[in-house]
Amino acid sequence: MNTQTTPSPQFYLTAPATCPYLPGQMERKVFTHLVGPRAAEMNDLLTQGGFRRSQNIAYRPACETCRACVSVRILAEDFQPTRTMRRILSTNSDVISTIYPAQPSTEQFSLFRHYLDDRHQQGGMSDMSALDYAIMVEDTHVNTRLIEYRLRQPGDGIGERPQGELLAVALTDLMSDGLSMVYSFFNTDLAKRSLGTFMILDHVRRTRALGLPHVYLGYWVHGSPKMNYKTRFQPQEHLTARGWERFNPAADE
What mean pLDDT is reported for the chain?
91
DSSP strands (E only) in 19-165: 26-27, 29-33, 52-54, 57-61, 69-75, 95-101, 144-151
DSSP conformation class of 25: -
Please check the confidence at residue 3 and state whether its pLDDT lies above 60.
no
pLDDT of residue 1: 47
* Average pLDDT of span 96-125: 88
* Average pLDDT of span 101-126: 86
Mapped onto helix, strand or coil, the DSSP state of residue 45 is: helix
Per DSSP, what are the bridge partners of residue 183? 171
What is the fold, at CATH topology level, of the domain defined by 73-217?
A: Aminopeptidase (3.40.630)
Please check the confidence at residue 123 and state whether its pLDDT lies above 70.
no
Bridge pairing between strands 29-33 and 243-246: unpaired
User: What predicted TM-score, i.e. pTM, was given to this entire model?
Assistant: 0.91
Per DSSP, what are the bridge partners of residue 66? none
151-175 pLDDT tens trace = 998 766 655 788 899 999 999 999 9
- Complete DSSP assignment for 184-238: EEE-TT-GGG-HHHHHHHHHHHHHHHTT--EEEEEEEETT-GGGGGGGGSSSEEE
Query: Burial level of 220, CB count in 10 A (0-12/13-18/19+)?
Result: buried
Q: Which residue has the higher pLDDT, 204 or 121?
A: 204
Please check the confidence at residue 62 and state whether its pLDDT lies above 90.
yes
pLDDT of residue 153: 84
Residue ranges per domain, the chain?
Answer: 73-217
